[in-house]
Amino acid sequence: MNASYAITILGSGGGVAKSVLSILNRSIIDKQDPLHHILSHTIFYLIDINQKPIDYYAQLFPNLKDNLILLEFDLQDNNKFHKHLETTHTKVVIDVSWADTIEMLACCNALGVYYINTALENTMVDEDSSLYGFPLTERYRRFENRKKDFTNTKAIISSGMNPGVVQWMALKLIQDNPEEKPLACYIVEHDTSFFADKKMIKSETIYTSWSVECFLDEAILSYPMFVKNHLPLYLYEEVYESEYKVKLGKREFYGCLMPHEEVLTLGKSYDMEIGFIYRVNEHTTELIRNNLSDTDKLWDWNQQVIDPSEGEVEGDDLVGVLLVYENHERYMYNSMKSSEIFQTYKTNATYFQVACGIYAGLSSLLLDAIPTGVYYVDELISHTKSQYGKYATYYMSEFVIGQNNHSDGFLHQRMRRL
């Protein structure tokens, strides 16, 4: 084909990449899609350390199959990656791998290649046991120390669902109500997705709707964290020792306080109490609670992503924001069911939500006049003329916006100890 663009996807065999490719598979045939006119003339280079066969991609993404070139190599080989970018004239790198973020971005920066990812990765942090309790914050700190060095690229960092689309939601609610300054902003998630057939459930197995290893990093390897007065604050206890109340109209749940990238990025710019409150499926919640005296052994258990291709999945994944004022609260959220998403996109709801954030970031990089620089999503929206929200809502079109006519207050007022 006569290609005008080259896009490289890192970690192409994983769950997030599958969802991103599923969206692009529709974009390339949808003439109303903002990216359609670009993608129809794009070659996609798919890189994975354990690459899947072409039949995997051809079956799942038939509209893209003639535009795909598969490569298999270890992204720790920076020279090889740099040469790949150079010889293919890659325009954008979509990084949904576990490769080191700083190293991947440095290669892109050297050649002026655009870059987007969903989370901060740092191999040195992962291998340093002395950082127990603080891995995410340390990844963020190290990236912040290098962020200003990348002056030859346009990059959007952590553009998934959360972090990513949630920052757009938070800023939208704030900007839609400029007369009031919120006291707190809580990123909230209630994921009830689980296999309908309980006979499928195996003992000593942890089930989540996204990477179990990444989930455990937040749930048992980190201390609960929130930001207040622009400062990260930590509770020296297990994440699952306490829960915090969230009310979104008629939907109410108690979730755990976990460290997350958007808490740090929003906390850098906004003087509010900011935290991430998350409740995963009840099966996994109970497993962790029952092993609080020795959570380390959970790393030795089997790990399984809740995949609708393996069995019917019930429940939904609700992700949103809750703004707290003195006498009321405002909220905005998106809720998706894997049982519905799978019919069209062959993926689960959680991964699809993440992919919508990647799609929004990719669209903004290719279509908007963004100044050179590295942006978190809240910075992208605040400091540029990005139409991120327009792109995010193309595939994630249904949001619930509402108000609670009371306030449950700050985190310490929402807490219940178990």
Q: Across residues 128-152, what is the average pLDDT?
A: 96
> Which range (3-17, 152-166, 322-336, 337-351) has the least confidence?
3-17
How many other C-beta atoms can be found within 10 angstroms of the C-beta atom of residue 297?
A: 11
- Assign 4 a pLDDT band (cuts: 50, 70, 90): confident
> What is the residue extent of each domain of the chain?
5-161+354-394, 165-345+398-417
- In tens, the pLDDT along 171-214 reads 999 999 999 999 999 999 999 999 999 999 999 999 999 999 99
| Phi/psi-derived region of residue 338, left when phi > 0, alpha when psi is between -120 and 50, beta in every other case | alpha
In CATH, 165-345+398-417 is 3.40.50.1220: no
- Assign 159 a pLDDT band (cuts: 50, 70, 90): very high
Give the per-residue pLDDT at 262: 98
Percentage of residues in the chain having pLDDT higher than 90? 98
Give the per-residue pLDDT at 176: 97
Using the predicted structure, report yes or no on whether residue 2 has a pLDDT greater than 60. Answer: no
**This prediction's pTM:** 0.97
Using the predicted structure, report yes or no on whether residue 163 has a pLDDT greater than 60. Answer: yes
Which residues, 6 or more positions from 95, have their beta carbon under 8 angstroms from its beta carbon?
A: 10, 11, 101, 104, 115, 116, 117, 118
Q: 30-50 burial by CB neighbour count: b if 16+ within 10 A, else e?
A: eeebbbeebbbebbbbbbbee
Q: Which has the closest alpha carbon to 362: 72, 82, 144, 164?
A: 164
How much is the mean pLDDT over the chain? 97
Q: Across residues 256-264, what is the average pLDDT?
A: 98
Give the per-residue pLDDT at 300: 95
CATH code for residues 5-161+354-394: 3.40.50.720
Q: Across residues 274-291, what is the average pLDDT?
A: 97
- In tens, the pLDDT along 24-49 reads 999 999 999 999 999 999 999 999 99
- In tens, the pLDDT along 341-389 reads 999 999 999 999 999 999 999 999 999 999 999 999 999 999 999 999 9
- In tens, the pLDDT along 224-259 reads 999 999 999 999 999 999 999 999 999 999 999 999
Q: Across residues 258-266, what is the average pLDDT?
A: 98
